[in-house]
Chain A
Amino acid sequence: MSASQTVFPGWMEIVDIAVHEETRQHAEEEALAALVDQYATMLYRVAYSVLRNPSDAEDAVQEAFLRVLRHRDTLGEIRDQRVWLIRIVWNIVLDRKRRAKSRPETDDVSELARVLPAKGLSAEQIASAAQHHAQVLSCVDQLPAREREVLMLSAFEELSSVEIASVLGVTESSVRSRLFRARNLMGELLNHSRSLR
């Protein structure tokens, strides 16, 4: 121990703690930045698949990372950070979707049909594809919430059924059964809409 530490042990301690705190904060910020680099795109896509609006999706991802920032002390305890983050953003987007029921869905669908890739297609084909996408999305919206959620998450190739189960907080077998039901319902709904045309 140095002479100054002997004379002012309490003061030196406070200085040590401040330095330690600063280092810790810096490490936490770096860890968070790494999470942003690694998962921001994935989370954005998850958010976009539900909200179907770029700025809303970005807001949702921002909110998710702000929540992570609030719980950064427990970041080291998370086993699967990817699933954990998806779960956070999933809950946020569902909540936002619930609250934004007043907005007409048709706006989202037309916007989405415009955004979806249509390379090498003629103008007529693009219009037809857009119509098909819009029809599919309206059918998806008619599905019961449980089935719809599983169907939407299963579209993400990065997510296994175990991970989907973890995001939704259910068992893997129930994910599979819900997916089965969702596909059957989707088939029925698409047939019905086609017969109406």
Chain B
Amino acid sequence: MNSPKQNAYAPNQPRDAASAEETLRLIARLPATEGLEERLKAGLKAAPKKGRVLAWADPSKSGGGWMRSTAVRAAAAAAIVCVVAGGGWSVYSRVQPAQMPKVIAMPQRVAAPGGFSSAGAMRTPQTLNGSVLAHPVIAMPKQDGDGKKLTAKTKKSRPAKPSPAGLRPMVTTAH
């Protein structure tokens, strides 16, 4: 409820407004017309009911509907899979992949009639005009001062694997 304190006037507010609000209060307190409720109820009854759609039995509401049956569910799932797979296959079978030609026919050179001709000269790209090596270079591995091979990683010396049964590896030296 609206207590008088809630919307009380501030001390510096005009008193004229209070009398004006009294008019609004009078309006707010006016009684409703006779038989309003009955007319409203009659109007609501005459109102069109909500459109209803024929619905399947909801398995969550009823105890055990036909949708609960595993076989029916499996059949429905299989039917859906068949439809999807069939659709995919029909699309795939209609699409022909474009075949690449084995031989490419080059267009024949035709001399321009009446103009300058190239006199059979073929334009070759000048990408090979650089210095040409006379002898092929044999790739030799670079050696440092000690004569050891340089490798990307210097491997740590690993201890020799102990031979099975504690036997020493046989070393043969040529004299």
A contact set with B: CB distance below 8 Å: 9-10, 13-14, 16-17, 20, 32-33, 36-37, 40-41, 44-45, 48-49, 52, 54, 58, 61-62, 65-66, 69-70, 112, 115-117, 132-133, 136-137, 139-140, 151-152, 154-161, 179-180, 182-184, 186-188, 190-191
Closest to A150 in B: B7
In the assembled complex, the CB of B66 is this many whole angstroms from the nearest CB of chain A, namely 6
Residues of A within 8 A of B24 (CB): 49, 136, 140, 151-152, 155
- Please indicate the chain A residues that have their CB under 8 angstroms from the CB of B61 in the complex: 17, 20
As a 0/1 sequence over residues 25 to 37 of chain B, the CB contacts with chain A under 8 angstroms (1 = contact) are 1111111110011
User: Contact between B36 and A44 (Cβ–Cβ < 8 Å)?
Assistant: yes
- Other than the given A69-B44, A133-B26, A140-B20, 17 more pairs (CB < 8 A) read A9-B65, A13-B62, A36-B40, A36-B44, A40-B32, A45-B29, A58-B40, A66-B47, A116-B27, A116-B30, A151-B24, A155-B21, A155-B25, A157-B2, A157-B29, A160-B1, A190-B16
Residues of B contacting A186 in the complex (Cβ-Cβ under 8 angstroms): 14, 16-17, 20-21
Q: Across the interface, do A180 and B2 meet the contact criterion of CB distance under 8 Å?
A: no
Q: Which residues of B contact A180 (CB under 8 A)?
A: 10, 13
- Interface size bucket, B side? 35 or more
Q: A183 contacts which of B9, B41, B57, B58 (Cβ < 8 Å)?
A: B9
Task: Give the distance in Å from the alpha carbon of A62 to the alpha carbon of B9 in the complex.
Answer: 35
- The reply on B161 being an interface residue by CB < 8 A is no
Alpha-carbon separation in the docked complex, A173 to B55 (Å): 49
CB contacts (< 8 Å) of B10 on chain A: these are: 180
11 pairs, CB–CB < 8 Å, chain A vs chain B: A41-B36, A44-B36, A45-B27, A62-B43, A117-B26, A132-B23, A156-B2, A160-B1, A160-B6, A183-B9, A184-B14
Taking a contact as CB atoms closer than 8 A, the residue among B13, B20, B32, B64 that contacts A9 in the complex is: B64
Q: Contact between B20 and A158 (Cβ–Cβ < 8 Å)?
A: no
On whether the beta carbons of A157 and B17 are closer than 8 Å, the reply is no
For residue B50, CB closer than 8 A to chain A, the reply is yes
Contact A65 to B30, CB < 8 A, known contacts A17-B62, A156-B2: no
Known contacts A66-B43, A184-B14; A49 and B27 CB within 8 A of each other: yes
- List the B side residues contacting A61 at CB < 8 Å: 36, 40
Which of A58, A66, A133, A157 is the one whose CB lies under 8 Å from B28?
A157
**Does B39 lie at the interface of the complex (its beta carbon under 8 Å from any beta carbon of A)?**
yes
Residues of A within 8 A of B15 (CB): 187
Complex Cα gap A58–B39 (Å): 9
Which A residues lie within 8 Å of B21 (CB)? 151, 154-155, 183, 186
